[in-house]
Every structure is written in C-alpha cells, then in structure tokens.
Amino acid sequence: MKVLSIQSAVAHGHVGNSAAVFPLQRIGVEVVPVHTVNFSNHTGYGAWRGPLIPPSDVAEVLLGVEERGVFPQIDAVLSGYQGGAGIADVIIDAVRRVKAANPAAVYACDPVMGNARSGCFVAPEIPDLLRDRVVPVADIITPNQFELGFLTGTEPSTLESTLASADLARAMGPSTVLVTSVERPDRPEGTIEMLVVDDSGAWIVRTPHLPFKANGSGDVTAALFTAHLGQTGKASVALERTASSVFDLIDLTYKSGQRELQLVQAQEFYASPRLQFGAEQVR
C-alpha cells in the first residue's frame, strides 16, 4: 500500500506528517509525505518558528511527484489540518489527478476544526470550506463528535443521534465515517468511544479515557485507520486495530510524563496491535 500524505510537519514533537508517517511505515505502508508547513513545533505551545509553505510550492512538489510516475501507485491520499483555502484547492486538485491515474485510490480527510472543550481553533473560513468543498470529494472522513456536528448541522450526543449525524455526513459524499472522541451520556464513567459507519454497517469500540491531551493523536488515528481499512477492507477490523494502537500510544505517553507523543517508543503497538478492545456492531 502507498499513501500520499499532504500535511504539516514539525521538527520537535509529532503532529501532521511528523505523527502519521512513522506509524504507517511501521505497519508496512510506503508513504509519500508532502509538507504544508515546516514549523519548529506545533502551535499548541503558543510560539513557533518556521515557514507556512505557499500553496503554489506545495503544488510544485506534487507536480514533481506526479512527473516521476508515482500517482498510479497511490492507494490513498491523506490530509489533516488545512491552514487556508489555498492549500485546500491544492489537495482537491491532487486527489482529482491521483484518481485519474488510479481510479481505485481513495481520499481520506481528517476535517480538523476543533473540539467540544476548546471550540474551533482554525481560521474562520476553514469550517465552511471543509463542509462545502473538501468533505464532498472525500471517501473517508475522521471527524471528532464536535466536528461531525458542525459538518451536518446537528448536535450528536447519544448513540442514535451520532449514527444519524454520520448518515448525514455520508450523504454528503464520503462512504466511510470514523467518529472519534464519542462521549455519549450513557457510556460507563471513565470511558470514551470511537464509531465507524460504512455501507456494511456500524461498529463502536470503547476504551478507557485517559486524563491527558496528546497533540497529534488524531493524526495517528486517521493515518492508521485509513491504512488498516485499505489493507483489510473491513471497517470493524480497522477500528479495532486503530483503537488498540492509539490507546497504547497515548497510555505510554501519559505514563512517561512527557508532553509530546512517545511515537517511536510505541512502535511495537502499531506493528502488533494487542487488539484488547473489541468492536461491537450497533447497526
């Protein structure tokens, strides 16, 4: 499997491509990383250095990759945080050209906007852009519960309302919706869930909820789920493998006392997921 990953990159820490590439490589996926920024660290620190790469330069890199004859080999295009409308245009165009070269290729979009605790943390134009232009061309999306609500104009909370919102999102274009950070009111205390919905059904997986915010964990989740779905063709299996690996990554990071994901130290959890959390079919 080969993934074209168009995302940010940081020198210190693990977000964007700096979070997604190594776990994919560790499970045997060839990655073609194209960076949209080259920052010293993620913006959660409140200060960073380095350039936001102009969309025209990102397009030039993609064109060079295409000229090397790589696009017919791409099985999936992956994108995450989008800093502005210009980069969205570049990604959408790259998806179009990859699919022209390989009609079996898919586009997986993590529609990063914010979360229920902090609200939106992207530029004001990004949520509407994602909803109206980017998500409709995606095959897979991986929003959290808050982002799913914005995309669909709903307030998902219960299992039933989250399933209904996922169906509305699928009606926009994507065939597969992975909802992360599902916090329904009737879940057991101290747990959190992920839900996946596709043409074959819907599955949910529950894990302990660690009291720790790990920047980049969503990027790892989107990457691993996309790869496992491509490799197995089964959303339930992809969900179980992803939940297992990501939980162990976050748990290891939490126990380490470090702020940044212990991405390298957790590498065996990607290569050999413990599969300690089973997916329950809910539809």
Quick one: pLDDT band at residue 83, thresholds 50, 70, 90? Answer: confident
Q: How many domains does the chain have?
A: 1
Q: Which pLDDT belongs to residue 127?
A: 87
- Structure letter (DSSP) for residue 258: -
Indicate whether 119 pLDDT > 70: no
Contact present, 247 and 261 (Cβ < 8 Å): no
Q: What is the pLDDT of residues 190-201, one digit of tens each?
A: 999 999 999 999
Give the H or E element holding residue 255. Answer: helix 235-256
Q: How many CB atoms lie within 10 A of CB 30?
A: 13
Q: Whose structure tokens read 């992975």?
A: 178
Question: 3-state class of 214 per DSSP?
Answer: coil
Contact present, 32 and 4 (Cβ < 8 Å): yes
Question: Phi first, then psi: what are they for 71, rounded to 5°?
Answer: -55, -35
Tokens of 179: 């909802």
Q: Which pLDDT belongs to residue 201?
A: 98
Domain range for 220 is: 2-281
Quick one: pLDDT band at residue 118, thresholds 50, 70, 90? Answer: low
Please state the rounded mean pLDDT for residues 29-46.
95
Range in 78-92, 132-146, 188-202 with the lowest mean pLDDT: 78-92
pTM of the model as a whole: 0.96
Tokens of 149: 């609500």
What CATH number does residue 121 fall under? Answer: 3.40.1190.20
Give the H or E element holding residue 207. Answer: strand 201-208
Mean pLDDT for the chain?
Answer: 95
Quick one: pLDDT band at residue 47, thresholds 50, 70, 90? Answer: very high
Contact present, 242 and 224 (Cβ < 8 Å): yes
Please state the rounded mean pLDDT for residues 241-268.
97
Nearest to 174 by CA among 131, 139, 134: 139
Q: Which pLDDT belongs to residue 85?
A: 82
Indicate whether 115 pLDDT > 80: no
Q: What is the pLDDT of residues 163-213, one digit of tens each?
A: 999 999 999 999 999 999 999 999 999 999 999 999 999 999 999 999 888
